[in-house]
A = this chain, B = another copy of it.
Amino acid sequence: MTAHHGHAAGARVDELRSALPPSRVLVDPARTAAYASDWSGIAAGSPSAVVLAETTHDVVVALRWANHHGVPTTLRGGGSGVSGGAVAYDGGLVVSTARMNRILDLSPVDRIAVVEPGVLIAHLDRAAGAHGLMYAPDPVSKDIATIGGSIATNAGGLRCLAHGVTSEAVSGLEVVLPDGRVLHTGGRTRKSATGYDLTHLFVGSEGSLGVITQATVRLTPLPRGERVTFAATFPSAQAAGAAVAGLLGRGLDLELPELLDHSTLEFVRRHLAGAGPTDGAMPDGAMPDGAMPDGGTVRDGGAMLVGMVIAVDAAAQLVEARAAATDAGAVHFEASQGTGMLDVRARVKEALMAGGLEASCDAAVPPSRLAELLAAIDVIAARDGRVVATVAHAGDGNIHAAVQSRDEPDDAEAVQRVLRDIVRAALALDGVVTGEHGIGAAKVHLVAEQFTPDTLAVQHAIRELLDPRGILNPGRVI
């Protein structure tokens, strides 16, 4: 950057600083760096400014400034995204809505909450729980992820089979467009047939169409009855996939079925052995050594299903769940009250990271095609001679396949090729590039493979309509 450019950029930033209270604009690189990256590991640029918005008006001021000067802008909630949708551009603007973190209203009768975008998901879910309700979307990151960020990525989670994805929980939005216009979409009613559904155009748009500054979200009655968890082991991941189809076909009150393949279970076992229960480092709720549900019987190539039923007649439904597992060739089935068997699932991410499997994908297929996708992953892994550890939100057909890296030159590219081939296998099975993490910067090269050219062209045209200067997450999302 020449001195001239630097001077011009400095003048521009001064203009932004003069328009907002000092505590809401960061320009010192030592301070902006904390807002430049997300969990994707993608290298971030150094932003020229970070706006820590406290009001909708702050966002309006920031966007108008960026739009006027053509400054590339990233939007940021909790920064826990894993697809690079919140990674700063060099010289760009970052708008964080994390400080806008109030629950403005919570109506048990309307089963609605009105929240600012910076409210943490788990915080809202707890507030709803006091009224016998829940905020159903439950990404694993819910303790650190914001409502705004999770709406922007249409986040998923573990209990979507029973209670839906984020999109289904969003009833209305306040959105700021790049030109500073403030839209109010949807509302508090369960039914509306007036006008176009702009709400869901912004859900999942990953900060490329506008900034969510308020959300009206639906709350769901907590399921009634007893919680029973079960674990079933299968000689192959494909057999486990077939069991999922059988479980779904029986219409059980299945809160979740999680699938863990043999490799994943091995990493969890090794990780737990290394960080055993006596070292004091295990977080609350962790599984004590030896309590892993029957992992010992999962042979190489096999898999485990961990499921939960919440129902008044849970015991009767468990009989049906066992039958579905047995029909699909389960070699073992065990059940218990409470949620203890889910602990193994909760330890997967840390175990895989400890094992050096950091890069993963989140493709999804219809559940009836899950067994085929798992078979395809086996072929891809064998071809590369790499370990690929797969867990799946099996009721949604949504996999997380983590690829082992090697200490070799160009290994990162090789890992990306493996992930790309897994995504292509999913697309060939009526699937999608990303089920719940979003496209961001990491997967934008794959988007065109999911859509017909005309369907993609309309998406680009809508983007250009709402963000004609192209300041919001340019080059990303689609």
Contacts and interface: CB of A to CB of B under 8 A. Distances in A.
A368 B108 CA distance: 9
B458 A187 contact: no
Interface of A: 107-112, 131-133, 153-156, 160-161, 164-165, 167-168, 177, 181-185, 187-201, 203-205, 209, 221-222, 224-225, 245, 248-251, 253, 311-313, 362, 364-368, 393, 395-398, 430-439, 443, 447, 450-452, 454-459, 461-463, 465-466, 477-478
B197 A204 contact: yes
Given A196-B204, A200-B200, A189 B397 contact: yes
26 contacts: A109-B367, A109-B368, A111-B248, A132-B250, A132-B251, A153-B193, A160-B191, A167-B197, A182-B452, A184-B451, A189-B396, A189-B397, A189-B398, A189-B430, A189-B431, A191-B398, A193-B204, A194-B434, A195-B451, A195-B477, A198-B458, A221-B251, A222-B251, A225-B312, A461-B465, A465-B465
Contacts of A191: 154, 156, 160, 165, 364, 393, 396-398, 432, 435-436
Contacts of A110: 248, 366-368
A108 B249 contact: yes
Given A110-B367, A111-B248, 13 more contacts: A107-B368, A112-B366, A131-B249, A154-B197, A181-B454, A184-B451, A187-B431, A189-B396, A189-B397, A193-B362, A196-B204, A196-B463, A224-B311
Contact of A192 (B188, B221, B364, B461): B364
B194 A365 contact: no
B203 A197 contact: yes
A193 B251 contact: no
A342 to B, nearest CB: 19
A220 to B, nearest CB: 9
Nearest to A250: B132
A312 to B, nearest CB: 4
Contacts of A463: 196
B248 A189 contact: no
Contacts of A466: 458
Given A189-B431, A248-B111, A459 B195 contact: yes
Q: Which 10 A-B residue pairs are closest in the complex by CB-CB distance?
A: A221-B251, A191-B435, A200-B200, A109-B368, A110-B366, A188-B366, A192-B432, A190-B396, A109-B245, A181-B454
A274 to B, nearest CB: 33
A201 B436 CA distance: 20
Nearest to A167: B197
A187 B430 contact: yes
Contact of A251 (B224, B311, B438, B443): B224
Given A109-B367, A465-B461, A165 B190 contact: yes
Nearest to A222: B251
B201 A435 contact: no
B183 A455 contact: yes
A199 B451 CA distance: 13
A437 B436 CA distance: 33
Contact of A364 (B189, B250, B368, B477): B189
B196 A462 contact: yes
A205 B194 contact: no
